[in-house]
């Protein structure tokens, strides 16, 4: 597998990864608003969602670092002929944006519409 294919794969992972928090965030939201509130299940999903969001942010940071390194190596070895700098900029700028998106999704799906509604 070439460095080109790996960087595209990492770019795709970084794009999709923030939505992983919805896997536990939406069930937590559903349990909170169910007719029969199950506090233990909600607390479990609530905590898992926050832990998952930190794991996702860490993985986003790791993929960004690996992507920058691979992009620079591919540029030095002239494997990337067109727009090599755009990939480096993608990994630098989008890592922050996607991490912010992860925390916004976590905040909106879990905290704002569950415990935050009680304020």
The pLDDT score that the predictor gives to residue 44 is: 93
Is the pLDDT reported for residue 119 higher than 60? no
Is the pLDDT reported for residue 82 higher than 60? yes
The pLDDT score that the predictor gives to residue 79 is: 63
Distance CA 2, CA 27 (A): 39
Q: What are phi and psi of 33, to 5 degrees?
A: -95, 5
pLDDT in tens, 23-69: 988 998 888 888 888 889 999 999 999 899 999 989 998 998 888 88
The pLDDT score that the predictor gives to residue 90 is: 82
């Amino acid at each position: 597998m070439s460095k080109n294919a790996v960087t595209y794969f990492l770019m795709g992972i970084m794009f999709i990864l923030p939505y992983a928090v919805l896997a536990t965030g939406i069930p937590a939201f559903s349990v909170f608003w169910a007719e029969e509130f199950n506090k233990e299940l909600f607390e479990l999903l609530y905590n898992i969602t926050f832990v998952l969001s930190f794991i996702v942010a860490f993985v986003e940071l790791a993929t960004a670092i690996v992507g920058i390194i691979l992009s620079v190596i591919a540029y030095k070895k002239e494997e990337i002929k067109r727009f090599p700098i755009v990939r480096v900029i993608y990994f630098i700028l989008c890592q922050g944006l996607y991490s912010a998106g992860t925390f916004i999704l976590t905040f909106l799906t879990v905290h704002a519409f569950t415990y935050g509604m009680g304020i």
